[in-house]
Amino acid sequence: MESFESELSERPSKDSSTEKNTPKTRPWVSLIVASSSIFLMTLDLGITAVSLPEIRADFDDSKRQIINWGATSYLVTMTSLLLLFGRLSDRYGRRKLFLIGLSLTTLAVSLAAFTPNPEIFLLARTFQGAGIALLVPTALAMVLSDIPQKHQGAAVGLWGSIGATAGVLGPISSGSLIEFFGWRATFAFLAVLGFIALIAGIRVLNESYLPEASEELNLTTVFSGILSIGLVTLVLLQGNEWGWASTKILILVVTAFLTTWFFWVSCKRSSSPLLDLEVLKNHKYRQVTIAAGFHQIAFFAFFFSSPILLTEIWGWSAIKTGFMIAPSMVLAILVQTPFGMMADRFGYRKLILFGGFIPSLGVVWWLIRVDMEPSYLSAFLPGLLIVSLGGAMVGITTTGAALTVVEQQKLGIANAMHQVARRLGTTMGVALAVGLSSGSDNLKIFENIKILWWLVAITYVLGSVFVWKSEIE
């Protein structure tokens, strides 16, 4: 088992009839269609968060743990398969794998909508994770090379705005659908959107290949890479629930470390590894990708700790808390595209450097003004908007910066590696927020949240330091 032999159909050449028959659509139309990936992924996060209590209530109490594992299975599957699908997209066509991903995602959410029992729901969420893993590394890589370089920052900004829009619509749409039709309607809604995106993708998207690439991947690196990333993700997801010093977590940590070491060594010894070491040797790409991981840790630690403050300390309802945090997402929708245009004009480096330091100002504001007594307009909201502004400056912008410094033929695997760093950062940020935002009483919880805010500020600055040293323009 030395090589990975694909069972996909044989790759056509550049002169193939498949590519000739693919309509040469306007790049911006293709960008909007491809952005259905981030829209569906972000929308699903909001929908699932709101729907999960209703889903658990609809089944027997003894099966509720299986429902909970649906979210874990989805994230572990998605993160662990990113590298493999990024590699395959560069070899067999990003459009082809993107459409397969849309099809699988649509079928998976359809199965979730009509699931007869928790076991089928768990299976559906696992397949949905695989579908999203096909979409994430292929979508932006598929269309970015068709956008003129002077407009690529704006394109990435528009991409981020579409994702932020889904972040706002997710909780609102799911709440309304559950109220009138029940939780199954939320997944049916995702299925309809997925089907529309699939039809649009078939009609307008162009294909891209890497003709020089080998058809073979080393099987050892494939399996060890999937296992390594999956184990690390599982540790981060279950650490708070199982206890970081529990036997299960310690065994997983040791196994993850050994598997990751074996994966790295196998990649260095292989002529065709799952992990593209040549891309990692690109200093600019490596530094920006590390920065993106730090920024994701900081953003999600901030984003998930905010509701804990408003609900646990200030005693607000979940609905009120959602509306009070919504301005941060609305701001992201409004500024992502302009920030992308600024990156085109002034360069990514300046934008990311400033963006990494701005959230620290918002955190300092919170540390000075926010206390245990509710004070939204004069204390919480200004800090929320400042942190969100800086987060929008560095969020999707780091992805654009990373993809502009690698070869066009390796955009799939480069984006996959970048997204693995972002997904692991996201999971770590959530783990930090949940782990630190706890305590025996409200005073202890508030003190822990303030410690978390310091970590958010420091982590944002650390990310910007990596960009500062990256020499990226």
- Provide the 3-class DSSP secondary structure of residue 216: strand
The two tokens of residue 100 are: 């397969």
Tokens 């998930």 -> residue: 304
Centre a 10 Å sphere on the Cβ of residue 188 and count the other Cβ atoms it contains. Answer: 18
Query: In terms of Cα–Cα distance, which of 14, 54, 27, 261 is closest to 148?
Result: 27
Q: Please, are residues 288 and 398 in contact by the beta-carbon 8 Å criterion?
A: yes
Question: Distance between CA 169 and CA 75 in Å, rounded?
Answer: 21
Q: Is the pLDDT of residue 23 over 50?
A: no
Question: CB within 8 A of 448, min separation 6: which ones?
Answer: 436, 437, 438, 439
Query: In terms of Cα–Cα distance, which of 187, 59, 77 is closest to 134?
Result: 77
Centre a 10 Å sphere on the Cβ of residue 9 and count the other Cβ atoms it contains. Answer: 10
Question: Distance between CA 395 and CA 90 in Å, rounded?
Answer: 25
Tens digit of each residue's pLDDT (9 = 90 or more) over 401-459: 888 888 878 888 888 999 899 989 988 888 888 787 777 688 888 888 899 999 999 99
- Which residues are registered as beta bridge partners of 371? none
Q: Please, are residues 26 and 154 in contact by the beta-carbon 8 Å criterion?
A: no
How does residue 27 score in pLDDT terms, banded at 50, 70 and 90?
confident
Tens digit of each residue's pLDDT (9 = 90 or more) over 311-343: 888 988 767 887 888 888 889 889 888 888 888
The two tokens of residue 301 are: 């630690």
Question: Distance between CA 318 and CA 316 in Å, rounded?
Answer: 7
Question: Which amino acid, 401?
Answer: A
What are residue 109's phi and psi, to 5 degrees? Answer: -70, -30
Query: Does the model's pTM come out above 0.75?
Result: yes
Question: Distance between CA 131 and CA 105 in Å, rounded?
Answer: 5
